Amino acid sequence: MLIMEVVENVVWFLVAVFILVTFHELGHFGVARLLGVGVSKFSIGFGKPLYSFRSRRSGTEYVLGALPFGGYVKFIDEREDHVDSQDLPHAFNRQNLWVRTAVVIAGPAANFVLAIFFYWLVFGIGVPGVEPIIGYVQPGSSAEAIGLQRGDRIAQINGRKVRSWGEHRYYLLDQVQNGETLTFTIETPTGENKTVSIESSRLESGQMNPLILEQKIGVLPRIAPVVGTLIPGEVADAAGIQVNDRFMSIEGVPINGWRDVVEIISSRPEQTTRLSVLRNGSIKLAVVVPKAINSMNEVVGRIGVGPANHVNVVIRLGAGEAIVRAVEATWLLSKLTVGMIVQMIQGKESTKSIGGPLSIAKYAGASAEYGLTAFLMFLAILSISLGILNLLPIPVLDGGHLVYFLIEGIKGTPVSETFMYRSQQLGFAVLAVLISFALYNDVLNIFKF
């Protein structure tokens, strides 16, 4: 099973890389051809060619390399090869600054366009989610201070309609990143409507993680008390609890949501605990003794169960609204990604979140297993990351070339070939360090060091 899982992850990883790299290079290629820049080679992958052919009309060689971990577009350029006299007007080095800039920036731009397309498909197909109903309010939190209660439905955030808990998280991030006051329109279980607000300054506006932001506010969604995962050999399994069982009561206390299960079980380490579950229309009784474990310097009870993925709403948008949301999602994720990079440089964000090819392969396989929508969302996120990565001002990346062009625009002449060569050597070294660090994080995550 493990071998098959690894193979599947690798296959989906290669599919993702092929799609994103191909589109990135097509961005460079398409704009170059549009602006009259000659292209000598268009390659997807590196190493020994598995397949290649040369266009008689344009003279461009198209190559599929054996190592599908990248790609490149090679332009006609006097600095690299001999160029025939009839091709000199099409040489990259002879183009004006704006043409060269447009060609270079077209690759990352293509990745952002691709992300918008993937998000547009996702919102058109439909995003599964959980109703925006509060299942838990943290005592002493901002949410409790403004009067939010269990069972309240979050109807709007700053005038934007909330249709799922996922949208709730999305709008929270957007508003807090903009430094805006959070204004919630709430529908109570009794049908009453009320409006409450939280100052975003109280939530640390630089926060990038929606789950941590949610914890700072102090609310969690209502999750059905249905068993989704069961650890073999643990307390619940030994007591006869089964997947899809619905907790009805624990120690005589009625259970309304998964948070009730967590709170009661956590409070009873090593104590005999009676519970009832609903299974196939019948009530079953069980007795468990929660195992005592140390969590955040506190001894709590655990029985080895997790909640089911409880999807009770699907958000499906029309073509027009979907494209607007797709652009919004791409812009927000781009802001968050850039913000996270800045915070890493400032030392405010852990570098452990940098993942390499092993992590990407794992997420590719996991998202594909969840279905088309999840895989498309994964591709959108990865495409945005690839676009931003290539815009970093590191020589050998597109961003490095843009820095060269900026210097040229300021001083009026191109940077010297010597400066370019030495800076690119430095760029390769920086990339090698980043890749090594990402692989190091991958190994730590795999072996849980």
Contact indicator for 21, 44 with CB cutoff of 8 Å: yes
Contact indicator for 270, 289 with CB cutoff of 8 Å: yes
The DSSP H or E segment spanning 44 is strand 39-54
Residues 6+ away with beta carbon under 8 Å from 439: 356, 357, 358
Contact indicator for 68, 84 with CB cutoff of 8 Å: no
Contact indicator for 288, 250 with CB cutoff of 8 Å: no
List active site positions: 25
Contact indicator for 125, 118 with CB cutoff of 8 Å: no
In the three-class reduction of DSSP (H, G, I as helix; E, B as strand; rest coil), residue 278 is classed as: strand
User: Nearest Cα to 434, choosing from 369, 345, 314?
Assistant: 345
Phi first, then psi: give them for residue 48, nearest 5 degrees: -60, 130
Residues 338 and 391: their CA atoms lie apart, in Å, by 11
Residues 444 and 391: their CA atoms lie apart, in Å, by 28
User: Nearest Cα to 258, choosing from 211, 221, 295?
Assistant: 221
CA 11-13-19 angle, 5° bins? 105
In the three-class reduction of DSSP (H, G, I as helix; E, B as strand; rest coil), residue 355 is classed as: coil
DSSP 8-state code for residue 292: E
User: Nearest Cα to 354, choosing from 427, 425, 443?
Assistant: 443
Total Cβ atoms within 10 A of residue 176: 25
